[in-house]
Structure 1
């Protein structure tokens, strides 16, 4: 009996050993490389051309990762491409987060399970229509004068620390090691940046090579013009380009051929549409024009990654393309993209699938269905508290006292809001004097004794004539609309009040500075006495919180919150957890309704608290008669009012070649 037992143990161990050796051999036989003479990629010894789409794990609720990936696979894509934002994983210096929604390793493994290969844009700069282009804002606290994306000693010190953390996580996921990762990108569109520091690009290449090994395929991406590749290409990383619709692929790829005479043709960002900006109509790109261009590229033998395939929303203060303040994407590229922010397939998705089917066999599977959307109807809201009422809740540690205003980054407040408070001293002015807030970044609300006086923004009004009295309290609530994420201005990116405030030419000193966390506002745990209604000057109301209750009788579904009649602010939902849904600004547009994914909601008896932090004007008949409505359809393309700031200059033609 004992002999039989040991025999089975031996056979089990032997079987596991053989299985291990088989898997090891299989992994060792997996290869991905560039065949320069054949002008192609080679995977496992065979010619290979990828058809890819971009998806951003940080913009898609984790519960929907598989849904979005399966829809991409069903479209005929064999590969996905995504960024890894540094600031998403190291929000504070030395404090890393790779769990839950931030677990990109699980996302990569899930993509492999679905049947997709992976291209990774590892940064450290990603652009990506993401706050600060992926840089953590605490860099500005370490040295506000550092020159980013260069060999600046302070900058490169922290880049090295981050890359030494990130890159080893990618190594076991490389294709040659049994994972799905084909290539890793060095930096991102560096040729569009002013610095042109070749030593910097070589440093990043060497860092990646040291961690990822000699066989890993590295690449760069730049705009489709020789001037971009001049600074963006680096020896040892394969140079690729990005551009939009074209009728002449040969001409569009010529800049790549000027730097890579041989090897596969690659468009790493082929644009099915373009991003939206606050205050301008929803951007669209004709479906037929795009389909014909995609057809030409695939017929030409090119490798293509289609940008804006995200199918996801932005969370909280991460929601925006921040090339210039105020012109942020409200949530996503949405309904001119192959998948909407809610993951719904669009006509463009079906067109892409049809084109791809001409060049490769589509997977034998049905397209996963769109998620259910529910119109939960109107929810009554009540005024709960002004910003001043809630200060102890939003800033439990109390204010920072300073002789002069401090930037947000200087007090470790990297997103959101800060309230600056000053009590006026000295003689009582007999006539109006000018209050100068020319240092506001980005948008500010001035209150005197809690009564709103006006709105200031960095590209609009910066001064106001006022008559103030001694001992009156000046409150300045400043909103960070998102760190600039593209161009040389990323080096001038501090937020809050970045200059001294003057009144009548005299500097105001002696400030209390409150870093605010709006997620701290929990209706179930508030204490203290609140006033009956917010202050008003007849036009503006004091920034205030409004709260209502949404009851979901059964299993929650996706929905949209219609903000048509509200002013500008932040929307949160608290159920089993607090979720920052995002910003709203409907009178500027183009987005009017906010996508609320079902993971943010809970069924009865749990109450879903609908919280609005309204900054400008609430459409209430009385403090207890405000409403919002949950509907089952989006509204991303409302006609916006003309904003009071200049249009951002980076346009669709930034790297596009139309020939």
Structure 2
């Protein structure tokens, strides 16, 4: 049934494409198996590409980044399409503003860059749930990335929207998309479901036509290449500077005896996790290895060429021995920084590319201007309990036992769980998450007094005290769903019973919290604070909101926000969610603030949710440079 639905729509599109004169038979992109190369319009072609994620860069800066990539000598860019970015609620699609994929493709085309499209449906990318929408988890037993009927139906519905939208941009249709990846690094997933890959292959073929070059990408092991590749999809490999080029390409040759050599992800840097060191990859190793691959005639995509930012709640997480969320910055130690600035690594790469192809004449566009706007003092607005009418005007859902984020249909951010203490707790008494069921952090208050925190895999027991009937609130934070490996079915919230010693806590009131909607609508600056300002030296513990304004000075330049002595939380500027801060754990110490978010004439509203403890004097600092490399360890 799933494939049949896709096939019907594909036939209709094929009719429209032919009758609408979209197809141009003179433009072709294919593989020459005899001469081991790509053919573009019948001539040998080698691509030198870089990865860029439009979902991590403000639309205002798309052109700037693409021009810098073009001036570095690239002739192609590689992009992921995050499903959850475009269909955050099932059946509701968004391709406007920062999600305007068509506009991005158009800008790349205008700039002279071909596109290697990676539409998933799973993308990894250190992105929330690997790009899969969290609403899939409303079916608790769904088997993601498999032949599961519910999953495939959702995939088919999505691909019918996405692939038909990008079809006019195929190279044969006068666009710039030269190849399309099916799934992503599937050999790294435990399922190894060839029927799933065959179904995807049929869907892509039906929707994109027989002549579109489809490929797979997998890691540099036999198992990954074996489970991720499929006859009829050209198999490519990925590896970084720690690999042996000859050995890696010999592995690709075992799966593709003939055709072009392709490193689909040559790692120029790496990602960061909270509480770990800032990843860096030596620029000389990158340039040396790039030169060697290009000399072999290999096609190379550099991952990343610019990383960008995990704004809002879009960061992913890993889970090997424990849950390890990815930081807000996706700088990636890439040739272009998080803010799109050229680096020495970029200039070295351009020098290498010059040895193999003509690089556009002219200077590299400069870094965007930066400005340190200085300190802004904030004032307390109120704690979560005092703001429930603002964030959850519909009131709570009552349940005997806790419900997950997915069951409550709030997929990201924060929810509040409330219950009453069943008995007197005169001495500190253990509150226990016996099955590690708090995903991912719970900030616990009793009658408004902060008691401490439960954390997934790390802190499963804490002590509380109080009287029988006291209100206990747990503000639970989704720190980002696992994006890689076997645990991507990553439900959030309180997943199982909580115990007070041996007593099972029950009779919960559960509040979904639309913080982002309220703040985007102007709160708290549009109305009077709901609690009086605290004395400057009075500490505030537990989840508390703060507000302030950055006064305009006629500039709207990029800047970096530092929260000295703050613990952990979320920041919004003019209603836009910049992402999470966690300087007490590091390594990231500043948040990137794109200049286009700032007003040159009106006060710029700053809203901070501090989850643990604010400094005695709550103020923030706007700097002219980032700090991404100071790890203080786990706190």
Please report the TM-score for the alignment, with normalisation by the length of structure 2: 0.93
The whole-number CA distance in structure 2 between the counterparts of 1:331 and 1:67 is 22
Alignment of 1:6-405 (within 5 A): 27-141=24-138, 143-245=139-241, 248-323=244-319, 327-334=324-331, 336-405=333-402
Where structure 2 has 5 or more consecutive residues not aligned to the other structure, the ranges are: 1-17
SS at match of 1:524: coil
Aligned partner of 1:481 among 459, 479, 482: 479
Deviations 1:116-164 (A, max 9, x none): 00000010100011000000000111x1211111101111111111111
* Offset at residue 429 of structure 1 (A): 4.9
The whole-number CA distance in structure 2 between the counterparts of 1:158 and 1:539 is 48
User: Within the alignment, does 1:570 sit opposite 2:561 as a pair?
Assistant: no
User: Within the alignment, does 1:442 sit opposite 2:447 as a pair?
Assistant: no
- Structure 1 residues 321 and 54, CA gap change in structure 2 (3 angstroms): farther
The whole-number CA distance in structure 2 between the counterparts of 1:96 and 1:24 is 27
Aligned to 2:550: 550
SS at match of 1:545: strand
* Offset at residue 106 of structure 1 (A): 1.1
* Offset at residue 596 of structure 1 (A): 0.1
Deviates more, 1:43-52 or 1:546-555: 546-555
The whole-number CA distance in structure 1 between the counterparts of 2:208 and 2:156 is 14
Alignment of 1:568-607 (within 5 A): 568-574=568-574, 578-604=575-601, 606-607=602-603
SS at match of 2:109: helix
Aligned to 2:15: none
- Structure 1 residues 361 and 57, CA gap change in structure 2 (3 angstroms): same
The whole-number CA distance in structure 2 between the counterparts of 1:64 and 1:381 is 30
The whole-number CA distance in structure 2 between the counterparts of 1:540 and 1:409 is 31
- Structure 1 residues 534 and 321, CA gap change in structure 2 (3 angstroms): farther
* Offset at residue 236 of structure 1 (A): 1.0
The whole-number CA distance in structure 1 between the counterparts of 2:465 and 2:380 is 30
Aligned to 2:623: 631
Aligned partner of 1:459 among 457, 460, 470: 457
Deviates more, 1:106-115 or 1:326-335: 326-335
* Offset at residue 109 of structure 1 (A): 1.1
- Structure 1 residues 474 and 458, CA gap change in structure 2 (3 angstroms): same
Whether the 8 Å contact between 1:59 and 1:310 is mirrored in structure 2 is no
Structure with larger Rg: 1
- Structure 1 residues 550 and 101, CA gap change in structure 2 (3 angstroms): same
Deviations 1:249-286 (A, max 9, x none): 22221111001000000000000111111111111111
Whether the 8 Å contact between 1:131 and 1:322 is mirrored in structure 2 is no
Whether the 8 Å contact between 1:535 and 1:541 is mirrored in structure 2 is no
Deviations 1:311-347 (A, max 9, x none): 5222211134445676333233427210111000111
Deviates more, 1:289-298 or 1:307-316: 307-316
* Offset at residue 392 of structure 1 (A): 1.1
* Offset at residue 602 of structure 1 (A): 0.7
Deviations 1:585-638 (A, max 9, x none): 01111110111001111112x1111111001111124xxxx2111110110111
- Structure 1 residues 71 and 632, CA gap change in structure 2 (3 angstroms): same
The whole-number CA distance in structure 1 between the counterparts of 2:22 and 2:96 is 31
- Structure 1 residues 422 and 215, CA gap change in structure 2 (3 angstroms): same
* Offset at residue 566 of structure 1 (A): 1.1
- Structure 1 residues 156 and 535, CA gap change in structure 2 (3 angstroms): farther
Deviations 1:558-584 (A, max 9, x none): 00111232110001012xxx1001110
The whole-number CA distance in structure 2 between the counterparts of 1:204 and 1:163 is 9
Whether the 8 Å contact between 1:383 and 1:534 is mirrored in structure 2 is no
SS at match of 1:273: coil
SS at match of 1:379: strand
SS at match of 2:458: coil
- Structure 1 residues 52 and 534, CA gap change in structure 2 (3 angstroms): farther
SS at match of 2:525: helix
Whether the 8 Å contact between 1:60 and 1:310 is mirrored in structure 2 is no
The whole-number CA distance in structure 2 between the counterparts of 1:378 and 1:467 is 38
Whether the 8 Å contact between 1:331 and 1:341 is mirrored in structure 2 is no
Deviations 1:2-39 (A, max 9, x none): xxxxxxxxxxxxxxxxxxx9x96993201110010110
SS at match of 2:474: strand
Instruction: Name the count of aligned residue pairs.
Output: 610
- Structure 1 residues 534 and 317, CA gap change in structure 2 (3 angstroms): farther
* Offset at residue 86 of structure 1 (A): 0.6
* Offset at residue 233 of structure 1 (A): 0.2
Whether the 8 Å contact between 1:451 and 1:535 is mirrored in structure 2 is no
* Offset at residue 524 of structure 1 (A): 2.8
Deviates more, 1:305-314 or 1:595-604: 305-314
Aligned to 1:641: 632
* Offset at residue 503 of structure 1 (A): 1.4
SS at match of 2:488: helix
SS at match of 2:94: coil
Aligned to 1:524: 525
Whether the 8 Å contact between 1:386 and 1:534 is mirrored in structure 2 is no
SS at match of 1:389: helix
The whole-number CA distance in structure 2 between the counterparts of 1:307 and 1:146 is 31
- Structure 1 residues 559 and 326, CA gap change in structure 2 (3 angstroms): farther
Whether the 8 Å contact between 1:569 and 1:613 is mirrored in structure 2 is yes
